[in-house]
Chains A and B, each alone.
Chain A
Amino acid sequence: MSKELPLSGLLVLEFSQFMAGPSAGLKLADLGARVIKIERPGSGEAGRKIAIKNMFIGEDSLVFHTINRNKESYTANLKDPTDLQKVKQLIRHADVMTHNFRPGVMEKLGLAYAAVRNIHPKLIYADVLGYGKEGPWANKPGQDLLIQSVSGLTYLTGNKDDAPTPMGLAASDMFTGGHLVQGILAALIQREKTGIGCQVSVSLLESTLDMQFEALTTYLNAEDQAFKRAVKGSAHPFLGAPYGVYKTKDGYLAIAMMPLVKLATALKVELPSDFKAPSSRFEKRDGIMAFFQKILLGETSQSWQEKLEAQGIWCAEVLDYDRLLNYEGFKVLGMDQKVFTSDGTKIHTTRCPVRMDGERIFSGKSAPKAGEHTRAIEKEFDLV
């Protein structure tokens, strides 16, 4: 019954390193493509050494393993003419190639789109940049936290008096990788119609601005452009009360947007007349949030959630991994999987979040060691 994974038969060459490009490669791999990382001999891509919590699996960091599972590795020294020749031969077999070198690097190697297109017009050539190809920042390092910092993003999270607050994970990388996949897939669809490939480009900065598109559109068209995070429990600077996080007797409760009267009624309190005008949700946001905060301290999160949900209030207890991962509501998703390295080490990680034809997509294949598949690939494609 099962249909083939949608991208089966496609060959992707990944010259990308670190997170953004490789996260796109992972998604293409999980959707059925064959992804070969092109890495430097010996140490492989630089992301192999970037560790979180000093955790390694063999030679490579755990984070490298999570973002590069389900791929193969071919090592080549792109500055060596013989190796470069082999890579160019391999490119002729590819449907897609991705890279995230700074502007100019691929040109020097003779692997810029203009050159590659001549030998392989059907190729989809994808580049991930930090800040776009031109302008004064074009050669700056495109690193996640730095992009978050220059993009304005850090002024959206946290409370009013907090310092600018970054998102505590590689948000720019992940969104950029997501956009790259969108562009690559659209280009593949176009190629089915026209027979011709194209170049797809994304940058961390443009993608991180796109991530803020709702807030930016609001900001660009508002008469008064000033905006503030809430004093306490802030969850979105452009949303009015009660939107935010509240402390309870034993933890925290998140409350989404809703009419204040509805919330007050559910909590069995009278909404002060001060807060009754619709505009007060914004103008008196901090006062309103403080008002509800006082009440919510009175009971446990679980108790509030049961009481409020029964009355159609959009709320949720704030969970940590210990609790989330053990809830039936999470377990039923089957969101985790185990992958095994070629020497048998088990890594417990997450799976592709997209379900296809009613099935979850699992893959037990781990990240490759640097150069693990070089010989097999040379033989298969007759690279000399």
Chain B
Amino acid sequence: MKRPLEDILVLDFSQFLSGPSASLRLADLGARVIKIEQPGSGDSCRALYASNVEMNGDSSIFHAINRNKQSYQVNLKEGPGREKVYRLIQKADIVIHNFRPGVAERLGIGYAQVKEINPEVVYGEISGYGKEGPWKNRPGQDLLVQAISGLMQLSGNAGAGPVPMGLAVVDLLAGIHLSQGLLACLYRKMRSGQGGLVEVSMLESISEFQFESVTTYYQDGGQALERTKISNAHPLLGAPYGLYQTADGYLALAMGSIPQLGALLKCDDLLRFRTVDSWFDRRDEIKEILKQHLLSATTTAWLAVLEPADIWCADVLTWDRLFDHDAFKVLQMIQEVRMSDGYCFKTTRCPIRINDQFLTSELGTPKLGEHTTLIDQELAMK
């Protein structure tokens, strides 16, 4: 199938997750993505002592993020290397980096320098905390930005202390926002010839993610966020919103009418909470009643009562249980990709469908510098 970003060339100088997750999406949407990697070990994520699973010489995390890309290894600090990169930049539609403020300029690939070579370039950069102010040089690492951003007040129950989200949510959001800005700017370039500069910071991205709770804080005079004592799933929502233990597992309950739940579950204690306000104001009390009551039967039994009544509810699944389910299999969410040396691995596919087609790709992760010679030859031909 024809992919929407075919013929678009992306030069990606970024490392770790935030920038590379953006270029992975562009690759799956059809762009050609060339990772520009430094001499020595290349993208630090290759060896990131993070996951304990190594696959074909690089970390599992690196493979997840960098499949469907090419790798060009070059020393940006030397004249000939920089010269080659400049010739690539001339051909590029999009250039991405996530160096700390000032580093790209020192390497000769700051926006002003790149625009000089390619005036219509769409140039994207991700910083940790923006490019000004007292935090600009702090390390832009996912967990640290989670800590600073207030995000750790939202998950877990009251009294649990700060609870981080158990994946690199800040990096991923910054990557999403960067790719949105880049694509919007590329669209403008195609219509009017105007490229531009797209800037994203991890702290701004994770602040926007909390737009609900930050706006509430501004509007209610700065009240502290309170998670519920049990079954917290969102500090600003009333009961029953949360996960509850049952006789054999867990049950998720989203927003719903408490008396209606009481009637369906045959839990008379809930019938007295008649006003909508009470579902928020007395949510700890309601959740405690639900907790006691739901322990008495299995998840399947509760779902059999609630689902026919259109109550928003669900089983709580591990990956193992989800993978066994037909509803998961029909999505064909897992794809196998192959590296040039024949090594194959499984990973997830792009979540976007175009005209009902999956955007799968069989191309695995590049070895460090795997495409250097090929790309040099392409440059020599011109």
8 Å CB contact of A134 from B51, B135, B187, B330: B330
Ranked nearest first, the 4 interchain pairs of A and B with the lowest CB-CB distance are A168-B154, A332-B133, A156-B166, A329-B135
Q: Mark B317-341 against chain A: 1 for CB-CB distance below 8 A, else 0.
A: 1110010011101110110000000
> Interface on B for A, CB 8 Å cutoff?
2, 4-5, 7-8, 17, 25, 29-30, 48-53, 55, 60-61, 63-65, 129-130, 132-135, 138-139, 141-150, 152-156, 160-169, 172-173, 176-181, 183-188, 190-192, 194, 196-201, 203-205, 207-220, 222, 224-225, 227, 232-238, 241-243, 245, 250, 252-255, 276-277, 280-281, 310, 312-319, 322, 325-327, 329-331, 333-334, 345-348, 350-356
8 Å CB contact of B213 from A31, A169, A318: A169
| Bound CA–CA A42/B67 (angstroms) | 49
Within A51-78, the residues touching B (CB, 8 Å) are 51-55, 62-63, 65-67
What are some 25 contacts across the A-B interface (CB < 8 A)? Answer: A3-B194, A6-B184, A31-B184, A135-B327, A143-B254, A148-B252, A156-B167, A162-B160, A166-B242, A168-B234, A170-B234, A178-B177, A179-B176, A185-B183, A192-B187, A198-B354, A200-B352, A201-B352, A219-B319, A220-B334, A221-B60, A222-B60, A235-B164, A282-B52, A354-B181
| Bound CA–CA A135/B7 (angstroms) | 35
Query: Among A82-90, A266-274, A343-351, which stretch is in contact with chain B?
Result: A343-351
Q: Mark A224-246 against chain B: 1 for CB-CB distance below 8 A, else 0.
A: 00000100001111111001110
B154 touches A167 (CB 8 A): yes
For residue B12, give the distance in angstroms from its CB to the closest CB of chain A.
16
A202 touches B353 (CB 8 A): yes
For residue B178, give the distance in angstroms from its CB to the closest CB of chain A.
8
Q: Is A171 on the interface with B (CB-CB < 8 A)?
A: yes
B211 touches A349 (CB 8 A): yes
- Chain B residues with Cβ below 8 Å from A218 are 51, 53, 60-61, 64
| Bound CA–CA A150/B85 (angstroms) | 46
- Chain A residues with Cβ below 8 Å from B52 are 238, 240, 279, 281-282
For residue A103, give the distance in angstroms from its CB to the closest CB of chain B.
12
| Bound CA–CA A55/B236 (angstroms) | 10
Closest chain B residue to A257 by CB distance?
Answer: B50
For residue A292, give the distance in angstroms from its CB to the closest CB of chain B.
15
Residue in B17, B227, B234 with the greatest tally of chain A CB atoms within 10 Å: B234
B207 touches A335 (CB 8 A): yes
Q: Is A146 on the interface with B (CB-CB < 8 A)?
A: yes
B314 touches A165 (CB 8 A): no
- Chain A residues with Cβ below 8 Å from B160 are 158, 162
Closest chain A residue to B130 by CB distance?
Answer: A333
Q: Is A107 on the interface with B (CB-CB < 8 A)?
A: no
For residue A156, give the distance in angstroms from its CB to the closest CB of chain B.
3
For residue B155, give the distance in angstroms from its CB to the closest CB of chain A.
4
| Bound CA–CA A238/B232 (angstroms) | 24
B5 touches A164 (CB 8 A): no
A236 touches B168 (CB 8 A): yes
For residue B321, give the distance in angstroms from its CB to the closest CB of chain A.
8
Main secondary structure of the interface of B (DSSP, over half): mixed
B356 touches A201 (CB 8 A): yes
- Chain A residues with Cβ below 8 Å from B130 are 332-333
- Chain B residues with Cβ below 8 Å from A175 are 172-173, 176
Q: Mark A243-259 against chain B: 1 for CB-CB distance below 8 A, else 0.
A: 11101000011111101
- Chain A residues with Cβ below 8 Å from B49 are 240, 257, 259, 278, 281
**A-side interface size class:** 35 or more
- Chain B residues with Cβ below 8 Å from A169 are 154, 209-210, 212-213, 234
| Bound CA–CA A205/B323 (angstroms) | 12
| Bound CA–CA A347/B51 (angstroms) | 43
B345 touches A221 (CB 8 A): yes
A166 touches B129 (CB 8 A): no
| Bound CA–CA A66/B219 (angstroms) | 11
Give 20 A-B pairs besides A62-B215, A169-B154 with Cβ atoms closer than 8 angstroms: A3-B188, A55-B219, A63-B215, A135-B331, A145-B253, A152-B319, A166-B234, A168-B153, A168-B154, A175-B173, A189-B186, A215-B167, A221-B345, A236-B166, A238-B50, A254-B143, A257-B50, A316-B144, A320-B150, A349-B215
Q: Is A44 on the interface with B (CB-CB < 8 A)?
A: no
Closest chain A residue to B236 by CB distance?
Answer: A52
A190 touches B5 (CB 8 A): yes
Q: Mark A147-191 against chain B: 1 for CB-CB distance below 8 A, else 0.
A: 111111011111000111111111100110011111101111110
Q: Is A131 on the interface with B (CB-CB < 8 A)?
A: yes
A217 touches B252 (CB 8 A): no
- Chain B residues with Cβ below 8 Å from A119 are none
Q: Mark A320-348 against chain B: 1 for CB-CB distance below 8 A, else 0.
A: 11101101111111011000000000011
